[in-house]
């Protein structure tokens, strides 16, 4: 018979891991964004089929003045909000964060200030040395984008990648975390379901269980309409799978957004590598800029009357063309695996900083 103490142990471990997240959530200052998505580099080592960041081999971000955010710039941004903003910083928006050599110092800086950190990565660059740096820095959550449960499927979608390398790197991260006696980072794997890989969803679930990741989920395809490239849009539509959690319905040969309710991104803030605050993650060209938080600080940018009115009257009411394909709400994904002892709060926090 299982003892009461044995039953309690997993819950205690899980609570200890998440209490910082929960504490930050309860104390969250509503005058600040819920999450900040920070672009530490627009560059990526992959050319994924349905990613809008590279189209026909060309970067859509080639107008960025900087290619990598410096540690000095990062600390300046954080110092403006430290002590007031306390939910989470997500290293995402575009590019692969591990390409920025200063990213581990950035994570450590957030840890010192008790600001939770999340990294979205393809995990290809997670060498033994970088694994150690991730653990030492104190990253809270590491999200791996997989999109295939076999070498052929993965590499057909994530062009330039190597399936075996990704799996080996994730496995090594989990093993090193265990050896070090750590509970973080919480490791999550994501799988965007398409017409090319939907047959591998059961295999993805098995793979997640075998690796003993903390959490795994499938997501439905998100089409970035504001790419200004019709060829991209048509190619991505070819990957679409229609089901009950799909973001779109098929009507007259095209895709129509199912849920056009209030914009879920009005509480989030996107900061580019140059420090510009832009509308949202769908604004991949940075057309809608509201100020530069390096020059003035995020306080002034976020609370400015023009930006406040824009979030309330334009974004919330979806008045722009790029809003027509956007749905980042939580019902567009499915849980496929959760490590039993890390299950508490897993789904709630899985969608903080995920898209």
pLDDT at 121: 96
Q: List the single range of 263-277, 311-325, 335-349 with lowest mean pLDDT.
A: 335-349
pLDDT at 132: 97
pLDDT at 226: 55
pLDDT in tens, 60-80: 666 676 789 999 999 999 998
Band of residue 5 on the pLDDT scale cut at 50, 70, 90: very low
Band of residue 12 on the pLDDT scale cut at 50, 70, 90: very low
Positive or negative, the CA dihedral 273, 275, 278, 280 is: positive
**Per-chain mean pLDDT for the chain:** 80
Q: Could you give the CA distance from residue 139 to residue 137 in angstroms, rounded to a whole number?
A: 6
Nearest CA to 185 out of 125, 113, 130, 148 is that of 130
The stretches of the chain forming alpha helices (DSSP H) are 4-26, 71-81, 103-112, 128-137, 151-157, 163-179, 201-211, 230-237, 298-303, 305-310, 346-350
On the question of pLDDT at 217 being above 80, the answer is yes
pLDDT in tens, 142-190: 999 999 999 999 998 898 899 999 999 999 999 999 999 998 999 999 9
pLDDT in tens, 243-273: 666 677 777 766 777 766 777 778 889 999 9
Contact 129, 97 (CB under 8 A): no
Band of residue 9 on the pLDDT scale cut at 50, 70, 90: very low
Q: What is the pTM of this model?
A: 0.83
């Amino acid at each position: 018979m299982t003892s009461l103490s044995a039953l309690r142990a997993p819950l205690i471990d899980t609570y200890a891991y998440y209490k910082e997240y929960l504490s930050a959530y309860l104390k969250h200052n509503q005058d600040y964004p819920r999450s900040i998505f920070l672009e530490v580099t627009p560059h990526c080592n992959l050319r994924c089929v349905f990613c809008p960041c590279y189209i026909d081999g060309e970067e859509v971000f080639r107008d960025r003045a900087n290619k990598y955010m410096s540690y000095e710039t990062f600390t300046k941004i954080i110092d403006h909000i430290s002590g007031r903003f306390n939910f989470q910083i997500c290293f995402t928006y575009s590019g692969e964060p591990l390409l920025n050599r200063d990213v581990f110092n950035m994570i450590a800086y957030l840890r010192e200030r008790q600001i939770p950190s999340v990294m979205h990565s393809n995990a290809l660059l997670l060498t033994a040395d970088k694994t150690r740096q991730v653990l030492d820095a104190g990253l809270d959550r590491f999200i791996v984008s997989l999109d295939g449960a076999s070498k052929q499927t993965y590499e057909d979608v994530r062009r330039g990648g190597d399936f075996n390398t990704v799996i080996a790197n994730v496995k090594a991260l989990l093993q090193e975390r265990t050896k070090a006696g750590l509970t973080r980072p919480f490791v999550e794997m994501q799988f965007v379901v398409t017409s090319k890989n939907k047959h591998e969803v059961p295999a993805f679930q098995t793979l997640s269980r075998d690796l003993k990741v903390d959490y795994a989920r499938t997501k439905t395809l998100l089409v970035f309409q504001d790419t200004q490239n019709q060829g991209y849009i048509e190619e991505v539509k070819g990957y679409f799978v229609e089901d009950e959690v799909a973001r779109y319905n098929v009507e007259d040969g095209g895709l129509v957004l199912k849920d056009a309710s209030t914009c879920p991104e009005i509480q989030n803030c996107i900061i580019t590598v140059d420090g510009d605050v832009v509308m949202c993650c769908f604004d991949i060209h940075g057309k809608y800029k509201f100020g530069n938080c390096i020059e003035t600080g995020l306080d002034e940018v976020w609370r400015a009357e023009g930006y406040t009115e824009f979030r309330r009257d334009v974004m919330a009411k979806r008045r722009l063309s790029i809003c027509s394909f956007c749905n980042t709400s939580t019902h567009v994904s499915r849980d496929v695996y959760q490590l039993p002892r890390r299950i508490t709060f897993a789904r709630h926090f899985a969608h903080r900083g995920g898209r």
